[in-house]
Amino acid sequence: MGIKKVFKSKISGTVYAPSSKSVILRAIALSLLTNGNTVIRNINFSDDVLAAINIVTELGVKTNISKETLVLESKGKIKNSTIYNLNCGESGLCLRMFSPILSLFKNRYILDGTGSLKNRTVEMVEKGLNKLGASCISNSGFLPVEINGQINGADITIDGSISSQFLSGLLIALPLCTQNSNIKVKNLKSRPYIDLTLKMVREAGIIIKESEKNIFTVKGNQKYNPFDIVAEGDWSGASFMLTAGAISGEIIVKNLQNNSFQADKVILDVLGIAGAEIKKNNDFIVVKKKDLNPFEFDISESPDLFSPIAVLAANCDGKSIINGTNRLKYKESKRGEVIKKEFKLLGIRAEIFKNRIEIYGGNIGGGKVSANNDHRIAMALAIMGISSIKGVEIDGWESVSKSYKDFFSDLQNIGGNIK
């Protein structure tokens, strides 16, 4: 892993948000179940997207890539094989979403991953699939996981407090079961991402009803229609650029939808609460630095925003409180602990409590820090660098390729002083 150093910078200019991997990964998964050609436009080939493409290709989908367009040709079924060894890379969404989808077919699958994904629990997947009639065996709650047999559709209750991604996989898979299903979800977090899944399956011809809040009725024996979509911009990746404008200048971010189902569009709410100037337009967002004030915000529905919000807090003079942080330990790194450790090296104090983190903003000194093999930590530390006194030297900056390959070049193009 290499090192980049980000120095104090004046941010000014326009950047295009990368396309949403949340949308793209769902579209790739849906393509496996359609009989025909699925087209995804405005695609970016981050590591997580490449992992999903490799999975469906291994299962028999033919792919054709032309610039920023991906065409997936599927017959709606998986080619016969004794065993499939599939690698999800470091993508938790790939693992949790494809597990129930693969359980529709009579094959044996071994799902594995790399890096931080090896340390993330698969207990929800294992218990859920076994309840639905498949055989699912993990490595004591971790990868690899072996899936054998078919889910049949059933009434099931699942816990959505750790992640909503397995529920997304169930909502995609269960319409193809022979039986009807009812899913009751307790403690559902990140609800906007379930709304995104529902929107996409409905656009592909599937009917799913929500009889009561977080109780989903899924009719069996349905079929997916091929579709052609333009992937919208990614609010998660764009949140770092928007934060950069709020702390050090002015930025215009294009390719973002104000009516998006992505949970992380609430970054604009946080920036506004802290005092940044925000202007919304139909096809771009403007964020301008003003005097920033300490704030309090709950990230229960948008945990991926923790890293940019922590950077914002570090640039406010006083104590900011970030609530809803207990899910951070299930991410690529234990992000709360990592932020506390790395921010301390830069002169910023953070204190961790049961379900909140308090950050005491002020002067950001500088120094050498580690991305801890976490793409969002790498981006956060880079944004810390643009308001630092001595510059921030980041070991392991390459991890941004997991979701936003062009992050550093985009930051440099809007004034980031990077060496």
Residues marked active site are found at 304
| Nearest by Cα to 253 from 379, 397, 407, 376 | 407
Distance CA 243, CA 267 (A): 8
Asked if 355 contacts 348 with a C-beta cutoff of 8 angstroms, the reply is no
| Nearest by Cα to 219 from 233, 205, 239, 237 | 205
The side-by-side arrangement of strands in the sheet containing 249-254 is 11-16, 249-254, 284-288, 277-280
- 10 Å CB burial of residue 58 (0-12, 13-18, 19+) is middle
Distance CA 145, CA 112 (A): 7
Distance CA 39, CA 281 (A): 28
Query: Which secondary-structure segment (H or E) carries 3?
Result: strand 3-7
